[in-house]
Amino acid sequence: MLLENKLALVTGASRGIGRAIAYELAKEGADVIINYRSSQKEAEEIAKEIKQMNRKAYLLKFDVSNKEEVKNAIKEIEENIGNIQILINNAGITKDTLFIRMKEEDWDLVLKTNLYSIFYVTQAVLPMMLNQRYGRIINISSIVAFTGNPGQVNYASAKAGIIGFTKALALEVAGRNITVNAVAPGFIETDMTKNLPEKIKETFLSQIPMKRIGLPEEVAALVTFLASDKASYITGAVFHINGGLYRG
């Protein structure tokens, strides 16, 4: 297995892409810390599935946008579980509206949850990786970081910030055998996209060369590869997974 004897932390792992990533990492041999903020039932379900594969699953509730909660959670991991080798910064939210109507609190909340969280979590985890001279950090960005999207100025700004974060940090830690990469999914089938009106879905599909929506499992497969030693010479890169909608 690609990830045997590795410990992974996946933020926002109870649903959608995060859930699929947690499952795929475990399938390849990793023990997984499942972070969630409010979806406890869903987090317990994925933990049960992971344990059925004879892998360890740890539930850890904390708000990634709260610096103190993050620090306390990572301290708990270090003291009671072990050193993290793989970090997947996946947690994110949307608060969509046209920019002219956007409230400051909706700007702040999206930036804190989608971008500041990566600063908080990565800075707390990085000392472990530096000390063990090994680490895999994968940040989940989005196609809208490159294309923009009406009504998502806050979300696009946060996801674009992740790209700069990834490229700069990769240069700082490459000498310690730590890789930092980003994955930018396109239109993926999650709870968020399931609830879109059919007309909007049809518009998206008409623009995708492959004429279908992507699956969370397809994103998870890419992330798992980047988390493995097969990707040990890849760092500071951005991987697009969108059916040809954006080719960068």
Q: What is the DSSP string of the chain?
A: -TTTT-EEEETT-SSHHHHHHHHHHHHTT-EEEEEESS-HHHHHHHHHHHHTTT--EEEEE--TT-HHHHHHHHHHHHHHT---SEEEE---------GGG--HHHHHHHHIIIIIHHHHHHHHHHHHHHHHT-EEEEEE--THHHH--TT-HHHHHHHHHHHHHHHHHHHHHGGGTEEEEEEEE-SB-SHHHHTS-HHHHHHHHHH-TT-S-B-HHHHHHHHHHHHSGGGTT--S-EEEESTTS---
With a CB cutoff of 8 Å and minimum separation 6, the contacts of 81 are 7, 33, 58
pLDDT in tens, 216-226: 999 999 999 99
pLDDT of residue 13: 98
Residue 221 domain-assigned?
A: yes
Q: What is the pLDDT along the chain (248 residues), one digit of tens a residue?
A: 999 999 999 999 999 999 999 999 999 999 999 999 999 999 999 999 999 999 999 999 999 999 999 999 999 999 999 999 999 999 999 999 999 999 999 999 999 999 999 999 999 999 999 999 999 999 999 999 999 999 999 999 999 999 999 999 999 999 999 999 999 999 999 887 777 778 878 888 999 999 999 999 999 999 999 999 999 999 999 999 999 999 87
Per the structure, how many domains does the chain have? 1
> Which residue shows structure tokens 């890789």?
179
Range(s) of the domain holding residue 233? 7-241
Residue 95 domain-assigned?
A: yes
pLDDT in tens, 158-181: 999 999 999 999 999 999 999 999
pLDDT of residue 196: 72
User: Residue 164 sits in a domain of what CATH number?
Assistant: 3.40.50.720
Return the active site residues.
155
pLDDT of residue 203: 86
Residue 248 domain-assigned?
A: no
Residue 41 domain-assigned?
A: yes
Residue 146 domain-assigned?
A: yes
DSSP element (H, E) containing 88: strand 86-89
Residue 2 domain-assigned?
A: no
Residue 1 domain-assigned?
A: no
